């Protein structure tokens, strides 16, 4: 049986595909790990997905972040966006699937980052305004896409 988090990633990835049908995408699955400072014991971990949303025709890219139940880890997201984009620049032989479903080699060097970060989540545990201001301090524009869960018993 799939967990709710798996469903969030599948649902939100579909939403990105619908919102940016003309764009290619390349993603990485990462996780936050919360450890106890004294013991080093892992207290919690939270998986998230980060995506480059690439407009091949106009040579620009946005970034998408899919993360369930976003809380205080939002403060790390702008740095992680920068790291992801930097890692993409160094990746010379990644393959990706274009908007038509064709596999091809990826070259990030020609794509300009727009500064737009699309946040897809099912729940914000921190004020959206606070998160947007944090991204703005890092010269990024946060576009929130909060998808409420359908509660069924």
Domains of the chain by residue range: 4-146
Which of 27-41, 46-60, 83-97 has the highest mean predicted lDDT (pLDDT)? 46-60
pTM of the complete model: 0.81
More confident residue, 99 or 27: 27
Residue pair 63/88 in contact (Cβ under 8 Å)? The answer is no
If we measure between CA atoms, which residue out of 18, 16, 25 comes closest to residue 94? 25
Residue range 72-128, pLDDT digits in tens: 999 999 999 999 999 888 765 555 666 566 666 666 678 899 999 999 999 999 999
């Amino acid at each position: 049986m799939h967990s709710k988090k798996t469903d969030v990633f599948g649902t939100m990835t579909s939403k990105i595909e619908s919102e940016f049908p003309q764009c290619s995408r390349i993603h990485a699955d990462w996780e936050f790990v919360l450890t106890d400072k004294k013991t080093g014991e892992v207290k919690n971990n939270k998986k998230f997905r980060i995506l480059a949303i690439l407009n091949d025709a106009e040579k620009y890219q946005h970034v998408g972040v899919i993360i369930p139940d976003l809380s205080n880890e939002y403060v790390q997201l702008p740095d992680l966006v920068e790291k992801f984009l930097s890692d993409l620049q160094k990746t010379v032989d990644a393959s990706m699937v274009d908007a038509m479903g064709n596999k091809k080699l990826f070259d990030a060097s020609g794509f300009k980052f727009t500064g737009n970060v699309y946040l897809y989540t099912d729940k914000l545990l921190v004020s959206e305004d606070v998160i947007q201001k944090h991204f703005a301090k890092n010269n990024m524009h946060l576009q929130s896409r909060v998808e409420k869960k359908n509660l069924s018993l």
